Homo-oligomer: A and B are copies of this chain.
């Protein structure tokens, strides 16, 4: 099967993968938009997790094949590892809830998913989309299809879940070959600083929004990837000739956060959806049971919102958000969120304040296995990416954007108040 894709041209899907792609759990992603409410700001951005995951799988193959071209790996391991990274990336998003991230606030407790012991120690609280992904892979009709199709490769669902979540898999599931453990490298392709997921979504979100920050030099990066073995573990390593391409990738992501992912319109509707969930908690829920989860998607949420009489739901359905009063970052002088909020409160102006704050890299942590090395191919020297590029420290840390939104009919008085509070506007 060959699938046409506007980002990658043609995406080949092999005969054993086809039943996975055709399976209702994968097809469900046709009804989960990649950017949630993002299309309210960028009308072109109606793309789904379905297309993204196919694209990410395709990128994963490119990364893996590039790394393998020069790696010391048995043909059997090569085949098996390739199957595993492709499947893991293909399925990494199947647990996403309606509108992608917007519904995570009403996820059921993690405990209700009844995940196996080897995954259970990853904290309590609400189930994340990764927990749902794990649940579906391990305990649904899709899991069974994978078990059947890929038994010969020794790629059970547990192996995919391990690659996706980073958890230590149960005994008997491993990625070793010729005495080297390839888990860090495979994991880095599935989920890491320079993973197939990010590599696809930057290109894709950029393409569909019409915002060109997501471009980066995918060809050059792919051509410069290697496997680096250290203490019998294989890691993803980028030649230093492509270090600047990685920096550019890093910045692309940072700029996509600021301009797209944290755009004030989706943030606005997201906040209203949270208020709806808070005020009318019984109207829509995320079922922990996989087979019921199957139709828990954007269509179901849209239908529920239309039927609701909750005022936030009505605002969402009629697309009448609160009005943006102000937005600022730490660079902008003259803005103080708490005093602005106090002033609005005092003036009796109905509003909400949102701080969008994203840690750009969840992968960098002192003492942990790094997910990417920079390699000097002449000398073989490896440097953790976080130590090599000065941009990393700055741009992998955090993005923070503060916003104030007010009820539409109060925008004029709110604006007068703002001008007063921030020192007035000098320009004509």
Could you tell me which A residues sit within 8 Å of B by CB distance? 2-7, 9-10, 22, 24, 27, 30-31, 39, 41-44, 46-48, 50-51, 54, 72, 207-213, 215-217, 219-220, 223, 228, 240, 243-245, 247-248, 251, 254-255, 258-259, 295, 299-300, 302-303, 306, 318-319, 326, 331-334, 376-381, 383, 388-390, 394, 418-419, 422-428
Q: How many copies does the complex hold?
A: 4
Q: Which residues of B contact A418 (CB under 8 A)?
A: 378
Q: Once the chains are docked, how many angstroms separate the CA of A4 from the CA of B331?
A: 26
- Report yes or no: A326 in contact with B378, Cβ–Cβ below 8 A: yes
Query: Across the interface, which residues of B come within 8 angstroms of A383, CB to CB?
Result: 333
* Minimum distance in angstroms from A337 CB to a CB of chain B: 15
Assess whether A6 is in contact with B210, with CB atoms less than 8 Å apart: yes
Given known contacts A47-B44, A334-B379, is B219 in contact with A213 (CB within 8 Å)? no
Chain B residues with CB under 8 Å of A255's CB are: 244-245, 247-248
Residues in chain B near residue A376, CB distance under 8 A: 332, 334
CA distance A223 to B4 in the complex (A): 12
Specify which chain B residues have a CB less than 8 angstroms from the CB of A243 in the assembled complex: 331
User: In the complex, what residues of B have CB within 8 A of residue A248's CB?
Assistant: 213, 251, 255
- Whether the pair B424, A379 counts as a contact (CB closer than 8 A) is yes
20 contacts between A and B (CB under 8 A): A2-B223, A4-B42, A5-B43, A6-B209, A10-B223, A30-B43, A43-B48, A212-B217, A213-B245, A215-B215, A243-B331, A244-B258, A245-B255, A303-B303, A331-B388, A332-B376, A333-B381, A377-B427, A378-B418, A380-B425
